[in-house]
Structures are given as structure tokens and as C-alpha cells.
Amino acid sequence: MILNEFGEKNNLKVGEDEIKSEIQKQVQSMPGQQKQILDYYQKNPSALASLRGTIYEEKIINLIKQKSKVAKKKISTKEAEEILKENHELKHEHHKELKKPKKTVESKKSKKKNRKK
């Protein structure tokens, strides 16, 4: 839903030429089956709709990649070591929380009294 909304806000559309191009790629990847592939998409509107959806999603992902910005920050070796140390400590704390405490069971030893006969 979020991807679809992103596509709508950015006026992304899938044109017939894009669908034909994708079908052509499939035809080229399966030599000798051109007729079957073309028949499949002509006789199955749901398959064509699915192909359109796949192309639409690819366009959205590509647009997101284009719009995303990678932020690089230079840090010293000391800062890097501190970050790694903090992450390492957090990782170990998380594992401690996940471990279940062991139950200790006290066993009562029955004391036998030795009787003298």
C-alpha cells in the first residue's frame, strides 16, 4: 500500500510499450515459445495485470533508489572503536534478556534415622 501511494504521488504509470518490452524479454529468454507466451498474455488478463503490477513495483523501487541519499560521515579510529564497542555490548545485553533463567529445584533429602536394635 505504501509503495502504491508513493507511485501515485510521483505519477508513475506503466505504458503499453513497457509491457510489450517485458513480454519481448520473456520471449527472448524462451526461444521457440513465442506463440505460447503471446497467447498466454492475450488469453489471461490476470497474468497481464500481474505483469503490469511487477513493472509498476520495479519503477517505484528504482525511483526510491534515485531519491535516496546516502550520508557519509568521516570518523576517527577511536570513534569507530567506541561505536563497535557499544554495539557489541548492546548485542550481549539483548542475548541476556532472551535467555530464560534456569529453574532451580531444591531436592529434599529424606533423612533416615538409624535405629539400634
Split the chain (117 residues) into runs of 10 and give each run's mean pLDDT. Answer: 81 93 93 92 94 93 86 86 85 59 51 50
Task: Give the pTM.
Answer: 0.55
- The whole-number pLDDT of residue 110 equals 45
Please state the domain extents for the chain.
Answer: 2-67
Neighbours of 64 (CB within 10 A): 13
Neighbours of 48 (CB within 10 A): 15
Q: Which residues contact 18 (CB under 8 A, 6 or more apart)?
A: 55
Residue with cell string 527472448: 28
